[in-house]
Amino acid sequence: MDGRDWSVFLLPYEQAVEELKVKFKTMRSELKVRESYAPIEFVTGRVKRISSILEKAKNLNVPMDRIEVGIEDIAGIRIMCQFVDDIRRVAESIRARKDLLLVYEKDYITNYKPSGYRSYHMIVEYPVQTAIGFKKVLAEIQIRTLAMNFWATIEHSLNYKYKESLPDDVRARLRKAAEAASQLDDEMSSIRQEILDAQRGFEVRSNVVSSV
């Protein structure tokens, strides 16, 4: 494929990323109004770089005429949440959506990667209405906490910079840092739970007082 072919090939993916970003950002603002709390903190999206698509196709032995089905994250959406529980809530709402079809899910939170990487991935099929007709594209939705995102962003940039030359001790320290990020998430969840319990206790007490 030459440059023009790639630009045309990537158009529906660009459209899918833009539309999905708007939809999840809208979900956040809508839930803030309806329930005064949204499980989404912020949303980003990107279309995979051509060099990354080619590299992944090579690594996975995907022929060029099969990249549409063989590379599932050409369109990528990332949803950042405050708490681990929020990830489950967002995943549930994605499963219930009628504007996309869930293909499969990868739970890298329970089964974190050897690198220490944690995130919840959902591969979906998303229909776009292009200028020349209807087309279904695959997209990868990554759902993670702010702590998971902090770790993944830094690990990704270090890996990108140092490639295979990342020293073993750095890899080991990154794994430890991922563990620390996970403990931070657990601690934040338990602090949140204590606040919720305290608020519930307060509501119960004030109901008893108002009924006497």
Binding site for ligand 0O2 (CB under 6 A): 48, 52, 56, 73, 106, 113, 115, 117, 121, 152, 155-156
Which CB atom, from 49 or from 205, has the smaller least distance to ligand 0O2? 49
- Minimum CB–partner distance for residue 33 and ligand 0O2 (Å): 31
* Closest to 41 in 3D by CA, of 58, 56, 59, 29: 29
140 is catalytic: yes
Which CB atom, from 115 or from 189, has the smaller least distance to ligand 0O2? 115
What is the helix (H) or strand (E) element at residue 47, kind and residue range? strand 42-47
- Minimum CB–partner distance for residue 117 and ligand 0O2 (Å): 3
Edge-to-edge order in the sheet of strand 120-130: 42-47, 75-81, 133-145, 120-130, 101-107
Which CB atom, from 55 or from 186, has the smaller least distance to ligand 0O2? 55
Q: Which 3 state secondary structure label does DSSP give 139?
A: strand
Name residue, tokens 């809208």: 26
Rounded Cα gap, residues 15 and 25, in angstroms: 15
β-partners of residue 139 are 75, 124
Active-site residue, selected from the candidate residues 140, 155, 164, 187 = 140
Which CB atom, from 113 or from 205, has the smaller least distance to ligand 0O2? 113
| Residue 119 one-letter amino acid | S
- Minimum CB–partner distance for residue 121 and ligand 0O2 (Å): 5
Q: Where are the alpha helices (DSSP H) in the chain?
A: 3-35, 50-59, 67-70, 84-95, 146-162, 168-211
Residues noted as catalytic: 140
